[in-house]
Amino acid sequence: MSDTYLPLPNDEDKGTAGRFGRYFEDFEVGDTYHHWPGKTITESDDHLFCLITMNHHPLHMDANYAEAATQFGKNVVVGNLVYSVVLGMTVPDVSGKAIANLEIESLKHAKPTFHGDTVYAQTEVLEKTPSKSKPDRGVVKVRTVGTNQRGEEVVEFVRKVLVPKRNPG
């Protein structure tokens, strides 16, 4: 048995074939979406993200510093890049039709991600609430977990998304 973690889509998964995003009616509490494909985060990805966001901490950008002065002994990918990649993976399944991303209720970085790690994501639908003021939309609450190629959880977040109804009447 290989120690490589490869979460493949399966027949029970409600994949993205033929559509981008979901209407309010398409979400069912308890459904889980396995987002595909994964993303291998390179050193270049990490450095560019750090430069764009002005996060110049040497833990992320200076291999000598990371080796000599940190508990990890190597560069760690900046957590907001890991979060952003995993969030982006969810768009075709969760927020592709969104009117608005309303809030991130929680965000937890469980383990570090390193250059060359591949992240995967899956999302569970936790709640769905029709809008009380506008009958053409509703709020969907989801929990997304990002894992690395070893199946270790690296990031988890809970968010609420405002999505349109297919048939508002």
Show me where the domains of the chain are located: 24-164
Considering only CA atoms, which of 157, 156, 161 is closest in space to residue 140? 161
φ, ψ (nearest 5 deg) of residue 7: -80, 100
| pTM for this prediction | 0.88
**Distance, first Cα to last Cα, the chain:** 53
pLDDT in tens, 148-160: 999 999 999 999 9
Confidence of residue 168 (pLDDT cuts 50, 70, 90): confident
Question: Which homologous superfamily is 24-164 in?
Answer: Hotdog Thioesterase (3.10.129.10)
